[in-house]
């Protein structure tokens, strides 16, 4: 009997509970029919970003790349309500070091610092120190030797893509002579891209690199002069692999001046902005590897969001987002629309 009684009491209780739950549920449904359900995750998500501070330290503002990234980062900051500022190193590495040192000692210190490295070593130590001090470091497009979060193109793959194309174009019926134009000697862009070139060229010993020259700090005039001199030395040059679209407009101009458009092929890379379309339209470029700045901006914005939401100490998780690259040629000009600062929304 006692057993039965207990059971029945239990039954009444659960019946009540069930009824209560059903009522709450029905109220909930009724409420949802009015408007919407409150997502508990959402409130927490927006709370996280309040009073947070993100700083971008580019090599130089005023380029399509940096202006594009910065615009997209500031749009996300406004949307999520954290503060965003730019500290421009203005093409001066020592100024950049000073900016980073100051950020390290500022109070309140920034939560996330997005850094575009001018070379592989200058900022490396400071980036480590920043992580130790509790600041999340995200490197953007140009990497240093320190591993942190990274969003950007894989310069080695850019180099390989360019070299693969050039090897294909410069077949046995051509002179197989190529010219390589580098950036600054220790810039990450230069060293990693060289690795890519070498990976492909070492498998194709027939290709003859007639000159491998640095154009200094991406100097258009140097690119043009070097191309001109090389074309006089090797009028049968097959192709030129350039380092970046902007100075390579001048490389293309030198080829055009020599009356060799279409005969001496120019391969270059860049953020896929207006310069890309202009270069392909004017036939200054024959092959363009784009690292798609709008896509990169999305990647870096995701990393910023992640860093701001993480509760781990910086440096524990190192996430890299390598940008998917796309190749443009003169045939794509009509169908492909290049982004501009105004088109980024």
Partner 1 sequence: MTSKHIIRLDQQSIVFLISLIIFCCFSIFLPNFFTVGNLIAMMRSISVLAILGLGMAIVVIGRGIDLSMVALMAVPTALVMTMVDSGNGLVLSITVGTGFAIIAGGISGLLVAYAEIPALFVTLATGLALAGLGQVGILKADMVSWSDGMNPIRWIGGASLFGIPSSILVAAFMFIAVGWFLKKTKIGRFIYSIGDNPNTARTTGISVRPIMVLQYILAALIALLAGFVMAASNNLMDTRIYNLSLIYDVILVVVLGGIGLSGGRGGVWSVLVGTLLVGIVFNGMTIMNFPLDIQDLFKGIILLIAIAVDSFLNPRNEETAQQGDI
Cβ atoms of 172 and 140 within 8 Å: the answer is: no
Q: Is 274 exposed, middle or buried (0-12, 13-18, 19+ CB in 10 A)?
A: middle
Least CB distance to partner 1 at residue 268 (A): 14
Length of the chain: 345
Q: Does 302 participate in binding partner 1 (rule CB under 8 A)? A: no
Q: Does 228 participate in binding partner 1 (rule CB under 8 A)? A: yes
DSSP 13-58: HHHHHHHHHHHHHHHHHHHHHHS----HHHHHHHHHHTT-EEEEE-
Stretch that binds partner 1, among 4-12, 162-170, 194-202, 217-225 (CB under 8 A): 217-225
At residue 239, the 3 state secondary structure works out as strand
DSSP 136-198: EEEEESS--SS--EEEE--HHHHHHHHHHHHHHHS-TTS--EEEEEE-STT-HHHHHHHHHHH
Q: Does 219 participate in binding partner 1 (rule CB under 8 A)? A: yes
Q: Does 122 participate in binding partner 1 (rule CB under 8 A)? A: no
Least CB distance to partner 1 at residue 62 (A): 3
Q: Does 92 participate in binding partner 1 (rule CB under 8 A)? A: yes
Question: Applying CB under 8 A, what is the total number of residues that bind partner 1?
Answer: 44
- Can you read off the two tokens belonging to residue 229? 């001199």
Stretch that binds partner 1, among 16-24, 27-35, 144-152, 251-259 (CB under 8 A): 251-259
Cβ-based nearer residue to partner 1, 99 or 137: 99
Least CB distance to partner 1 at residue 211 (A): 5
Tell me which of 126, 137, 191, 250 binds partner 1, using CB under 8 A.
250
At residue 85, the 3 state secondary structure works out as strand
Cβ atoms of 110 and 100 within 8 Å: the answer is: no
Cβ atoms of 309 and 276 within 8 Å: the answer is: no
Q: Does 286 participate in binding partner 1 (rule CB under 8 A)? A: no
Cβ atoms of 271 and 292 within 8 Å: the answer is: yes
Q: Does 220 participate in binding partner 1 (rule CB under 8 A)? A: yes
Q: What residues numbered 166-195 form the site for partner 1, per CB under 8 A?
A: 185
Q: Is 83 exposed, middle or buried (0-12, 13-18, 19+ CB in 10 A)?
A: middle
Q: What residues numbered 3-62 form the site for partner 1, per CB under 8 A?
A: 60-62
Tell me which of 48, 145, 229, 344 binds partner 1, using CB under 8 A.
229
Stretch that binds partner 1, among 195-203, 231-239, 287-295, 297-305 (CB under 8 A): 231-239
Tell me which of 77, 153, 253, 277 binds partner 1, using CB under 8 A.
253
Least CB distance to partner 1 at residue 344 (A): 14
Beta bridge partners of 115: 57, 139
Cβ-based nearer residue to partner 1, 68 or 314: 68
Nearest to 154 by CA among 109, 110, 199, 114: 199
- Can you read off the two tokens belonging to residue 194? 């060289």
Least CB distance to partner 1 at residue 104 (A): 25
Least CB distance to partner 1 at residue 240 (A): 14
Binding site for partner 1 (CB under 8 A): 60-64, 67, 90-92, 185, 210-222, 224-226, 228-233, 246-247, 249-250, 252-253, 257, 275, 278, 282, 284, 341
């Amino acid at each position: 009997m006692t057993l039965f009684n207990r059971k029945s009491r239990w039954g009444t209780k659960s019946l009540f509970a069930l009824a209560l739950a059903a009522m709450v549920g029905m109220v909930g449904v009724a409420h949802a029919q009015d408007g919407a359900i409150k997502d508990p995750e959402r409130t927490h998500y927006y709370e996280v970003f309040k009073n947070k501070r993100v700083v971008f330290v580019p090599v130089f503002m005023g380029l399509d790349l940096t202006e594009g990234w910065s615009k997209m980062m500031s749009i996300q900051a406004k949307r999520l309500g954290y503060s965003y500022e730019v500290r421009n190193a203005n093409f001066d590495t020592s100024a950049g070091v000073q900016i980073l040192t100051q950020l390290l000692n500022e109070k309140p210190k920034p939560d996330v610092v997005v850094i575009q490295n001018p070379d592989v070593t200058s900022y490396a130590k400071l980036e480590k120190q920043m992580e130790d001090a509790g600041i999340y470091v995200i490197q953007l497009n140009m990497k240093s030797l320190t591993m942190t979060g990274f969003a950007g193109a894989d310069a080695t793959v850019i180099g390989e893509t360019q070299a693969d194309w050039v090897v294909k174009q410069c077949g046995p019926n051509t002179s197989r002579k190529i010219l390589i134009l580098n950036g600054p000697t220790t810039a990450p862009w230069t060293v990693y891209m060289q690795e890519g070139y070498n990976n492909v060229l070492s498998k194709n010993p027939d290709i003859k690199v007639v000159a491998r020259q640095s154009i200094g700090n991406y100097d258009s005039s140097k690119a043009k002069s070097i191309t001109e001199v090389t074309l006089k030395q090797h009028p049968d040059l097959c192709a030129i692999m350039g380092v970046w679209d902007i100075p390579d407009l001048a490389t293309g101009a030198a080829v055009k001046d020599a009356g060799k458009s279409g005969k001496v092929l120019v391969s270059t890379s860049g953020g896929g902005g207006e310069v890309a379309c202009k270069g392909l339209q004017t036939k200054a470029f024959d092959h363009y590897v784009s690292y798609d700045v709008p896509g990169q901006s999305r990647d870096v914005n995701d990393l910023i969001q992640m860093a701001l939401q993480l509760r781990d100490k910086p440096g524990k998780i190192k996430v890299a987002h390598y940008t998917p690259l796309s190749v443009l040629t003169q045939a794509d000009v009509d169908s492909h629309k290049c982004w501009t600062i105004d088109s980024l929304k």
